[in-house]
Amino acid sequence: MASRLFPLYNVDHPVGPGKPNRQDDVRLVQALFIEASRFDVNDWLREVPPQSRSLATSGRFDETLATWILTFQGWAAKNFGRANFKVDGIIDPMPFASSIDVSATFKSGRHSTLGFLCNRVWRYDRNAYMRIGDAYHVPWIPKGWDT
């Protein structure tokens, strides 16, 4: 039977402490977290300290984003299996499963924090999910695939 996969956003470089934290990658992660926070207020977001609950799409990695990433990863590991998620405060690029798609699971078997975050936003508000790409000019075709 024919099937369709919704588009996943991906980053070019890791986002987190000591990582490249490229502006476009950080901004995408921030935008996804902001959209997820609109629906996850009773899930992981309640574990974010009140002084860190305001996140903006600045494109700069800071302590607030670090807190959001760690809190989200910790919540995901606690609720969906410690072996399934790495709690390291880093959003890694999703691996390429083949020459034409990305995988939300790494070779180690753990799930991509970014893939999980994309799935949550998509599930809650598909229009908001798609607007992120439009608002931040995220191309659907990764660099190198269009040549």
* Domain regions of the chain by residue span: 23-135
CB 140 within 8 A of CB 101: no
Question: What is the tens place of the pLDDT at every residue in 22-33?
Answer: 999 999 999 999
Enter the pTM of the model: 0.88
Over residues 95-147, the pLDDT tens digits come to 776 555 566 767 777 889 999 999 999 999 999 999 998 898 887 666 655 55
List C-alpha distances in Å: 116 to 55, 85, 91, 143. Answer: 19, 10, 11, 23
